């Protein structure tokens, strides 16, 4: 879908962005965008998404939305970090990823002198990160040149904690035994979530447009495969979108057959202000995306900030209490999203001028 929007400056102004930077590398053909939403609380760590966009407008729309979400994610997680994100615009869907492209992206990231720190997102893996790290020290999530590794097991663990909080808030026990969880997208995060839920005794319904990933979830975790058109409407105890964003809008809310919506995808709601109200009206408990999927950021940003292994685990555990706190606030707010934004914005306002610049 093509997003025709206001001018770029108007889009930046309305979302409160500091910087929107474009780069094209003549040698490799790389076309990339870095959006820095906020550095009020510190330097900004956010993933690099490598994706085929139908238009430049779509890429700008994606990077602006994602980077703003990172500001909220860091603030709600109590990290002294800002919010940013980058996208690489693939020239066509199956364009192969190469070391020269990754290095060109690394050089672009390096121009921000650490105000922007890159990491994995959809389409970017550990190897790509280490290639980028050949050109800049401002990247996390690699295994050889940079450090931190794949953040998705930590993201999945955080979502699992948030699901427990959602179950308790909806008056159920937090035991997953016999509960049915429907997962859209069983990639990096989705597979790890399947593992945790399977160990906890949940029944799994899964869908993925990638047959290899779908088969893996079925074979490894005894999940039942569903068609990707049906998964969002599946009857279940928890619906967990773990693919791409924008999958739930006001219309889709009417078709949901789950008391809880809690997944890893960024920007699950097409229009979070409106759709989160529709969810509350429909009596569906919504674990706000930027709260519940913060585990990966907490892990990489925490390492970057020098936290110990114990501190990293404790910080991930906090996702349970933070989700509970927001759901309690939701009783007085228009939606759980509004409650989460209110708390995040208050933290950013309180922390102004105290930013830690990790260099």
Catalytic residue numbers, as ranges: 85
The reply on whether position 188 binds ligand NAD by CB under 6 A is yes
Q: Residue count of the chain, please give it.
A: 359
- Interaction mask 315-344, ligand NAD, x per CB under 6 A: ------------------------------
Describe the strand order of the beta sheet including 224-225 as a list of residue ranges: 224-225, 203-207, 180-184, 238-241, 260-261, 285-286
Residue 217, exposed/middle/buried by CB under 10 A (0-12, 13-18, 19+)? Answer: buried
* Residue closer to ligand NAD (CB basis): 42 or 69: 69
Alpha carbon distance 32, 87 (integer Å): 6
Beta strands in 107-179 (DSSP E): 116-120
- Return the number of the residue (246 or 355) whose C-beta is nearest ligand NAD: 246
Binding residues for ligand NAD, total number by CB under 6 A: 28
Q: What is the DSSP letter of 253?
A: H
- Residue 70 is a binding residue for ligand NAD (CB under 6 A): no
Minimum Å gap between C-beta 186 and ligand NAD is 6
- Residue 190 binds ligand NAD, judged by CB under 6 A: yes
Give every CB contact of residue 240 below 8 A, 6+ residues apart in sequence.
159, 163, 181, 182, 183, 184, 190, 193, 262, 263, 264
Residue 152 makes contact with ligand NAD by CB under 6 A: yes
Tell me the C-alpha distance between 175 and 162, whole Å. 13
The yes or no reply on residue 62 touching ligand NAD (CB under 6 A) is no
**3-class DSSP assignment, residue 186:** coil
Question: Shortest approach of ligand NAD to residue 340 CB, angstroms?
Answer: 15
Q: How far is the CB of 353 from ligand NAD (least distance, A)?
A: 28
Region of 15-23, 79-87, 115-123, 165-173 interacting with ligand NAD (CB under 6 A): 115-123
For residues 102 and 189, which CB has a smaller minimum distance to ligand NAD in the complex? 189
Interface segment toward ligand NAD; rule CB under 6 A; list 119-127, 167-175, 311-319, 330-338: 119-127
Q: Does residue 288 belong to the site contacting ligand NAD (CB under 6 A)?
A: no
Contact with ligand NAD (CB under 6 A): which of 155, 198, 288, 336?
155
Distance between CA atoms of residues 128 and 105, nearest Å: 10
Residue 200 is given by DSSP the state T
Q: Which residue stretch of 5-13, 26-34, 120-128, 335-343 sits at the interface with ligand NAD (rule: CB under 6 A)?
A: 120-128
Q: Does 193 help bind ligand NAD (rule: CB under 6 A)?
A: no
What are the DSSP calls for 26-53, one per residue?
Answer: TTT--EEEEEEEE-SSB-EEEEEEEE--
CA dist., res. 108 & res. 25, Å (int): 9
What is the rounded radius of gyration, in angstroms, for the C-alpha atoms of the chain? 19
Q: Which of residues 218-257 bind ligand NAD (CB under 6 A)?
A: 228, 242-245
Q: Which of 38, 293, 316, 335 binds ligand NAD (CB under 6 A)?
A: 293
Under the binding rule (CB under 6 A), the answer on residue 118 touching ligand NAD is: no
Q: Can you give the binding site for ligand NAD, defined by CB under 6 A? A: 120-122, 151-152, 155, 184-190, 207-210, 213, 228, 242-245, 264-266, 293, 296
């Amino acid at each position: 879908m093509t997003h025709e929007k206001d001018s770029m400056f108007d889009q930046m102004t309305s979302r409160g962005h500091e910087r929107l930077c474009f780069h094209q590398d003549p040698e490799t053909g790389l076309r990339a965008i870095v959006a820095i939403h906020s550095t009020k609380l510190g330097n900004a760590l956010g993933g690099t998404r490598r994706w085929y966009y139908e238009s430049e407008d779509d890429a700008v729309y994606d990077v602006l939305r994602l980077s703003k979400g990172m500001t909220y994610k860091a603030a709600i997680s109590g990290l002294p970090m800002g919010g940013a994100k980058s996208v690489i615009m693939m020239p066509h869907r199956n364009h192969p990823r190469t070391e020269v492209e990754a290095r060109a992206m690394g050089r672009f990231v390096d121009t921000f002198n650490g105000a922007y720190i890159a990491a994995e997102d959809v389409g970017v893996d550990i190897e790509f990160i280490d290639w980028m790290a050949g050109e800049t020290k401002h990247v996390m999530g690699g295994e050889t040149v940079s450090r931190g590794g794949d953040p998705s097991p930590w993201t999945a663990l955080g979502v699992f904690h948030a699901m427990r909080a959602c179950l308790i808030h909806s008056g159920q026990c937090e035991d997953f035994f016999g509960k049915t969880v429907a997962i859209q997208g069983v990639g990096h995060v989705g597979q790890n979530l399947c593992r945790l839920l399977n160990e906890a005794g949940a029944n799994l319904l899964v869908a993925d447009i990638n047959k290899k990933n779908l088969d893996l979830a079925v074979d490894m975790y005894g999940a039942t495969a569903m068609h990707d058109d049906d998964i969002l409407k599946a009857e279940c105890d928890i619906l967990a979108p773990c693919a791409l964003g924008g999958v739930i809008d006001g219309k889709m809310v009417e078709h949901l057959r789950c008391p809880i919506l809690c997944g890893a995808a960024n920007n699950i709601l097409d229009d979070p202000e409106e759709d989160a109200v529709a969810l509350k009206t429909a009596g569906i408990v919504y674990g706000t995306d930027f709260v519940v999927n913060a585990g990966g950021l907490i892990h990489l940003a925490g390492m970057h900030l020098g936290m110990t292994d114990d501190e990293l685990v404790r910080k991930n555990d906090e996702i349970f209490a933070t989700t509970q706190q927001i759901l309690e606030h939701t009783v007085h707010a228009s939606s759980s999203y509004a409650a989460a934004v209110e708390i995040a914005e208050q933290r950013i306002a309180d922390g102004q001028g105290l930013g830690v610049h990790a260099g």
